[in-house]
Amino acid sequence: MKTSLLSCLFITISVFMFGQNTGVAKNLTNQGVKLNVASDLIYQGVKLHDAGKFDEAIIKYDEALEADKNNLTALYEKSYTLSTIGKNEDAIECCKLAVKHHPDDEDLDMIYVVWGNALDAIGEMNDAIEIYNEGIEKFPEFYLIYFNKGITYSSNKYYDKALSCFEEAITFNINHASSHNGIARLNQMDENYVPAVLAYTYFLIIEPEGSRAKLNIQEI
């Protein structure tokens, strides 16, 4: 259920040369070339990841990081792939690098999701919650951090806290099916059947087909 998504960023930089600023223009051109090379390598890595070729994907992300040191997208995609194959300690190190070198970047939101998930996966619940909270402080309206924080609480049997997290998630994205799914199931566990049915119903409006939909129809 843990959700972690980020599309590859394609970066195109146009460089204009004015007057005698040829040195600056040359540096910008070099930077643009590096970014474009890195973006192409990241794209290749994402395709390999999607094909299940995780080790090959990591190689591409490392090549992207050689082309453009500490590229945020490459660090994210590498951390996500590492986490996918269970190398959570390595994923955590990538996330730390991303935050260290891009502390104020608006695209760090998904880094906090992967970081928290990786900590949760190695049994460090308290650290995971701390990272989610740090992410929420920076990105207070990013629903996936609340959702994944809820997953961590739920997997550790803190169901009331998990429910609160799922409810917060839908305040920022009312159409997040997985949060409604969590709300429905936790309410059902507590025999709060009316809110459970309402959450299942909303889930089915968003996601009317598929295995989860079939199961939730049976639950209703």
- For residues 198 and 116, what is the distance between their CA atoms, to the nearest angstrom? 29
Number of domains in the chain: 2
Torsion of CA 143, 149, 150, 154, to 10 degrees: 160
**Phi and psi of 86, rounded to 5°?**
85, 5
Task: Fill in the amino acid letter for 126.
Answer: N
In the three-class reduction of DSSP (H, G, I as helix; E, B as strand; rest coil), residue 199 is classed as helix
Length of the chain: 220
Tens digit of each residue's pLDDT (9 = 90 or more) over 44-102: 999 999 999 999 999 999 999 999 999 999 999 999 999 999 999 999 999 999 999 99
d(CA 20, CA 79): 42
User: Angle formed by the axes of helices 177-189 and 159-172, to 10°?
Assistant: 150
Q: Tokens 């992410």, residue?
A: 135
Q: Are residues 41 and 82 in the same domain?
A: yes
Question: Is pLDDT above 50 for 8?
Answer: no
For residues 4 and 89, state if they share a domain: yes
Please tell me whether residues 92 and 171 are part of one structural domain. Answer: no
Same-domain check for residues 156 and 128:
no
Both 209 and 173 in a single domain?
yes
> 115: which residues sit within 8 A by CB, 6+ positions away?
79, 91, 92, 95, 96, 131, 135
Range of the domain at 173: 146-220
135 lies in the same domain as 202: no
Can you give the CATH number for the domain in which 9 is found? 1.25.40.10
Q: For residue 121, is pLDDT > 80?
A: yes
Based on the fold, state whether residues 187 and 103 are members of the same structural domain: no
pTM: 0.82
Q: Which of these three, 91, 115, 139, is where a domain ends?
A: 139
Written in H, E and C, the secondary structure of 85-110 is CCCHHHHHHHHHHHHHHCCCCHHHHH
Q: At which of 139, 155, 177 does a domain end?
A: 139
**107/113 Cα distance (integer angstroms):** 12
135 and 163 belong to one structural domain: no
Round to whole Å and give the CA distance between 62 and 65.
5
| Domain end among 80, 108, 139 | 139
Q: Are residues 4 and 101 in the same domain?
A: yes
